[in-house]
Structure 1
Amino acid sequence: MGGALTHDFCPWANRYVYWLKSPLALLSIVALVGLVIGLAVTPQGYWVFGTIVAVIALGIVWPRVAMAGVRASVRFLDQRGSEGAPSRALLSIHNRYPWPVWGLRLERGFYPRDTSEMETELLDSSKPKSELVFALACVPGWSSADFEWQFVPERRGLYPLSMPIVATSFPLGLWERSQRVEVLSQLLVSPRVVALDALPASDGHRWSLGALSDRRSGTEGDIVGTRPLRPGDSLRHVHWPQTARYGRLILSERQAVQSAVVRVVVDLAAQHHTGLGDHSTLEQSLRVAASVCHSLLAHDLNVQLVLGKRRTDLASGKRARDQLADLLATLQVDDPESETFARELAQQQPSTQLCVGISTTLGAADNSARLKPKPGQFESRGQGCLLIAPGITTFEERQRLRQQHGAWCVIAADRSALDDFIPEWQEVCRDVWCGRQ
């Protein structure tokens, strides 16, 4: 019975009747009824008509007069941020007129909305068309004030996402008056990153990331020679027997780690991704890619990041990590062909180069012939895939999908499940990268 009372039997008529949910529309109908009663039945209907018109006029004029002298600006005190991490923001408001402004709200530009929500708002005018950031009880007349708050971005991007506004509908909520907010600085929000400390150790495989070079001197591996101490050298590498023989400080020269290049390929095809917002497989794929790239760059490895048809070379260091954050924060998905990911992953590469693909279970099923590893493929080409799977909750499901698609890891699409990627990555480094699988 309850379902029948709440079921929408005529959804096609919503766009024609939803305006009746507005208080202004209801008061207008009541005023019209009072006018008809005053004309046809009794003069007391005019009192009802006049009272309702006065209430409507108050609800429309008051917000317009209150907002006439308001000027506002917003700026972020932090230039960079990440998903789920608080950032400081500052709203400055100046009221030039002597009367106060009540019920002031900051809206728009801070919380991303999905396409389905925007389509629903077009049909249902009773739903709010902008997300409320926060509200102020009162801004006194002839005053300037700054309001600082902690803003927690839900999704990557350049904030504010759209032009923010300050608005009020005080005192009756019949009419809303708004002013645009001047944006003085923006916040660049990158995908959430988890720390992946594990990396493969050198075990003799041709594609090991820990390979050492005899042609370059460094601080790793075996001793390849000696030389006199130079200004700035560490005393930890002093060769004491040679120092005692020559009567001066002699340093040991060891092997240097080769600068390996790792290709990280992300599948951006729209038909391979599901979900909306920060729970979508696309956003989770970018978070996984950012975490893998951060881990590799932190270990002084060069990375080639392939996003659809776009290739970006990242050298090791902090500058490369900032470049990675900027790239993923402002990435606009161009919906490449479904074969782009498989083509990039199957591209011929040097035997010492590792290639990590990041896709979904839909992408793996679509390109199973190319993505599923063959016997000995990891050892010969150093290639593997990380899969994002929506709706998985148990370890058994992950193991089944991992064996079915021949993937290194299977990660849930939920942003909170990104922490489960850490032990899975450690298992990959221990078992797959070091050749024990």
Structure 2
Amino acid sequence: MMQRFRTGRQAALARLAVIAQYDFCPWSHRYVAWLKQPIGWIVAGAGASLLIAVCLEPQAWIIFGSLIAVMGMGVVWPWLAIYGTRAEMAFDCRRSREGESVQVRLRIENRWPWPLWGMAVEKGFSRGADAPPGEDSSAADPAQWVSAPTAALARVAGWSCSEFVFEFRPSQRGVYPHRVPELATGFPFGLWRASRQIAVERELLVWPHITPLHAMPALGGDVADVVGMLFDRPGEEGDMIGVRPFRQGDRLRSIHWGQTARRDALMVTERQAAARRLIVILVDTAAFAAQSSALETAIRAAASVAQAFHAHHAQVRFLIGDVDLLLEPRTAGWHRLLDALACFPTDGAVDKLTGSDAARRMTEVLCRDAFTLLATSTERAADWDRGAGSCGRLRFLLVGSRAAAECDERTQSVATARRREWIVLDSNAECSAPLRRQWERVCHDSITN
């Protein structure tokens, strides 16, 4: 009996809480928004005390004067503090990765003779809090758009140029700061915040997190089908096949010093060349148009696979949105891809392919001798599968719900897509360990089968 009473009481309290939090007058927000700010209540109190002083009690003039003095102090002091300062910011490095710590140097010049307190660096560092342009601002409460301070300064000495160093650890790839940062203060009462833009000497490129993948699948039954066979044509790999005179642009390490001394002229070695397999990696950004976390997971996984193939000297072509890169065999080609991924929009609103457009894109991407790995969602795998037709060189890297990929058996295309899937990742979980485990399984199965 008591248990039933407690259950009924909890249900009644829950319904009461829902009613208390329900917005019955959403149309009135524009009229009462100013009351959400501290200065709004000061203005309301000053107005009330003014009415009382005029109509009822003259002593209310003291309250009115006090409130006006507090409001004036709370508005004028922040404005004066910001007016007499100038700030510059610089990162200690040009490039970084997700999760790595970067030092930021902030230089503030205070032209006032008195010290300043309550300074803070805001905007440009947190992607979710201040709703930068291009992100869906309707997905969050507008009250949360105000950026949380990236760094707070205890004191800036008067008539000085001070330097502060703080650490920034980016959690997502991109170009930082993604908005112009501001030096803001609300000291002393927090009634009103004044701000000034901070000059940034250079931006920080944050690369996506890469999971090391050491194994290599045998796409044609042999690992050499990916790495490529060596043959006797001039190249930079394999055994030495001869010597030739030095040409402008040759590396100094390739000089054959014995033949150079014998012929009294610079001679360089010729080595074998490798026939590399073309690997196409495509990220279907349209599949993650409204899922930023899924897009980031797909980019991290696709970049990790691209790094594995590139490290094994395969010819890699990477496509995402309007970015189409054929990677050079050296480190410069890999860094060029990482820079492009860092600059790619975080909302992914570049590629709008759907339905038959996916089939046309697949026809353009699929080459006769290219192996294609497609990073897409479980829902769009069937559309891409129909566009691929009978091509046996297509494999899927699915990001989304594994249950959806395993349980959806409505069409034969979905069943075919399931046979072509290599890796399935959950967009709401950490993907490094599952990606490494599934990649090793794929490499093992490709050799044993």
Instruction: Using structure 2 for the length normalisation, give the TM-score.
Output: 0.79
For residues 196 and 127 of structure 2, the distance between their equivalents in structure 1, rounded to whole angstroms, comes to 20
Which residue of 366, 373, 394 maps to 1:383?
394
Q: What corresponds to 1:33 in structure 2?
A: 48
Give the aligned residue type for 2:137: M
For residues 379 and 224 of structure 2, the distance between their equivalents in structure 1, rounded to whole angstroms, comes to 29
SS of the aligned residue for 1:324 comes to helix
Which residue of 281, 284, 303 maps to 1:290?
303
Tell me if the contact between 1:308 and 1:340 (Cα under 8 Å) persists in the aligned partners: no
Tell me if the contact between 2:119 and 2:183 (Cα under 8 Å) persists in the aligned partners: yes
Question: Deviation of residue 138 (structure 1)?
Answer: 1.1
SS of the aligned residue for 1:92 comes to strand
Q: What corresponds to 1:335 in structure 2?
A: 351
Q: Does 1:54 pair with 2:73?
A: no
Spell out, residue by residue over 1:385-410, the C-alpha distance to the aligned partner (whole angstroms, 9 max, x if none). 111115x5xxx777667966331110
Give the aligned residue type for 2:339: D
SS of the aligned residue for 1:367 comes to helix
Q: What corresponds to 1:84 in structure 2?
A: 99
Q: Does 1:350 pair with 2:404?
A: no
Question: Deviation of residue 291 (structure 1)?
Answer: 1.0
Which residue of 404, 424, 429 maps to 2:438?
424
Tell me if the contact between 1:83 and 1:155 (Cα under 8 Å) persists in the aligned partners: yes
Match runs of 1:131-210 below 5 Å: 131-201=148-218, 204=221, 208-210=225-227
SS of the aligned residue for 2:35 comes to helix
Question: Deviation of residue 435 (structure 1)?
Answer: 6.5
Q: Does 1:7 pair with 2:22?
A: yes
Tell me if the contact between 1:263 and 1:303 (Cα under 8 Å) persists in the aligned partners: yes
Tell me if the contact between 1:309 and 1:336 (Cα under 8 Å) persists in the aligned partners: no
Q: Does 1:118 pair with 2:137?
A: yes
User: Which ranges of structure 2 fall in alignment gaps of 5 or more residues?
Assistant: 1-15, 244-251, 255-269, 409-413
For residues 319 and 286 of structure 1, the distance between their equivalents in structure 2, rounded to whole angstroms, comes to 19
For residues 445 and 217 of structure 2, the distance between their equivalents in structure 1, rounded to whole angstroms, comes to 9
Give the aligned residue type for 1:49: F
For residues 25 and 132 of structure 1, the distance between their equivalents in structure 2, rounded to whole angstroms, comes to 23
Give the aligned residue type for 1:425: W
Give the aligned residue type for 1:313: L
SS of the aligned residue for 1:132 comes to coil
Tell me if the contact between 1:202 and 1:211 (Cα under 8 Å) persists in the aligned partners: no
Q: What corresponds to 1:363 in structure 2?
A: 380
Tell me if the contact between 1:104 and 1:167 (Cα under 8 Å) persists in the aligned partners: yes
SS of the aligned residue for 1:357 comes to strand
For residues 372 and 424 of structure 2, the distance between their equivalents in structure 1, rounded to whole angstroms, comes to 17
SS of the aligned residue for 2:77 comes to helix
Question: Deviation of residue 413 (structure 1)?
Answer: 1.1
Instruction: Using structure 1 for the length normalisation, give the TM-score.
Output: 0.81
For residues 323 and 232 of structure 1, the distance between their equivalents in structure 2, rounded to whole angstroms, comes to 25
Larger deviation: 336-345 or 138-147?
336-345
Q: What corresponds to 2:111 in structure 1?
A: 96
Q: What corresponds to 2:428 in structure 1?
A: 414
The structure-2 alpha-carbon separation of the partners of 1:36 and 1:341, relative to structure 1 and needing over 3 Å to count, comes to: same
The structure-2 alpha-carbon separation of the partners of 1:276 and 1:137, relative to structure 1 and needing over 3 Å to count, comes to: farther
Q: Does 1:44 pair with 2:48?
A: no
Spell out, residue by residue over 1:29-62, the C-alpha distance to the aligned partner (whole angstroms, 9 max, x if none). 1111111111111101111111111111111111
SS of the aligned residue for 2:211 comes to coil
Question: Deviation of residue 343 (structure 1)?
Answer: 3.4
Q: What corresponds to 1:304 in structure 2?
A: 317
Question: Deviation of residue 5 (structure 1)?
Answer: 1.4
For residues 118 and 207 of structure 1, the distance between their equivalents in structure 2, rounded to whole angstroms, comes to 50
Larger deviation: 402-411 or 25-34?
402-411
Question: Deviation of residue 120 (structure 1)?
Answer: 6.9
Tell me if the contact between 1:207 and 1:354 (Cα under 8 Å) persists in the aligned partners: no
Tell me if the contact between 2:175 and 2:343 (Cα under 8 Å) persists in the aligned partners: yes
For residues 273 and 74 of structure 2, the distance between their equivalents in structure 1, rounded to whole angstroms, comes to 75
SS of the aligned residue for 1:112 comes to coil
Question: Deviation of residue 151 (structure 1)?
Answer: 0.9
Give the aligned residue type for 1:289: A
SS of the aligned residue for 1:72 comes to strand
Give the aligned residue type for 2:190: G
Give the aligned residue type for 2:353: E
Spell out, residue by residue over 1:335-392, the C-alpha distance to the aligned partner (whole angstroms, 9 max, x if none). 33224544344455234x3211111112214434235x86xx54xxx321111115x5
Tell me if the contact between 2:210 and 2:303 (Cα under 8 Å) persists in the aligned partners: yes
Larger deviation: 44-53 or 409-418?
409-418
Q: CA RMSD in A?
A: 3.3
Spell out, residue by residue over 1:52-100, the C-alpha distance to the aligned partner (whole angstroms, 9 max, x if none). 1111111111112222221111111110012222222111111121111
Give the aligned residue type for 2:215: A
Tell me if the contact between 1:34 and 1:46 (Cα under 8 Å) persists in the aligned partners: yes
Tell me if the contact between 2:91 and 2:103 (Cα under 8 Å) persists in the aligned partners: yes
Give the aligned residue type for 1:364: A
Which residue of 12, 15, 19 maps to 2:34?
19
SS of the aligned residue for 1:213 comes to strand
Q: Percent identity, please.
A: 31
- How many residues of Structure 1 are paired with residues of Structure 2 in the alignment? 397
Q: What corresponds to 1:248 in structure 2?
A: none
Tell me if the contact between 1:297 and 1:320 (Cα under 8 Å) persists in the aligned partners: no
For residues 33 and 64 of structure 1, the distance between their equivalents in structure 2, rounded to whole angstroms, comes to 27
Give the aligned residue type for 1:212: M
Tell me if the contact between 1:220 and 1:254 (Cα under 8 Å) persists in the aligned partners: yes
For residues 290 and 384 of structure 2, the distance between their equivalents in structure 1, rounded to whole angstroms, comes to 20
